[in-house]
Amino acid sequence: MMQLRVTKNYVGKLSLKSTKKRDDNLKLNLNVSFSEMSFTTTIDISLVSREGMALTLSFVTEFAVSGISIQELEKTPHPYVNGPTIAYPFLRAFLGTFTLNAGMDPILLPSVNFLALWEKSERKAELDAASNAP
């Protein structure tokens, strides 16, 4: 039976700057990388708060894997769905606490359906592959 275990959470990059730009949209990007018996999810976000603060954040979570080889795991949706689903609440808690301690209204990130994001990216990859086929 496959098991995932969080071994480390940390902020890889954080920037908070005053801006006149107003953009209520949360921009989120997910990257997954693999090593011998682990994988890492990096969730990059950018947004502008109600106070006009532009925030960019790169949140990294490392996972130990057992019960399945990394080569097999790479072919499954688990690193792209379960990994960020586990990591995202840590990111939300960090960001809310950080912004509150910075004297701002806490930024409360919305829920994200990582399964739907993965399915959308898989459909796009299939369409791209079909359009590039001879």
Task: Please name which of 28, 60, 20, 31 lies closest in space to residue 47, comparing C-alpha atoms.
Answer: 28
pLDDT at 66: 93
* Tens of pLDDT, residues 7-30: 999 999 999 999 887 776 889 999
pLDDT band at 133 (very low <50, low <70, confident <90, very high): low
pTM above 0.75, yes or no: yes
pLDDT at 121: 85
Which two three-digit tokens encode residue 123? Answer: 């459909």
Alpha-carbon distance of 104 to 83, in angstroms, equals: 29
pLDDT band at 65 (very low <50, low <70, confident <90, very high): very high
What is the Cα gyration radius of the chain? 17
Alpha helices (H) along 12-77: 70-74
Alpha-carbon distance of 88 to 41, in angstroms, equals: 10
* Tens of pLDDT, residues 84-102: 999 999 999 999 999 999 8
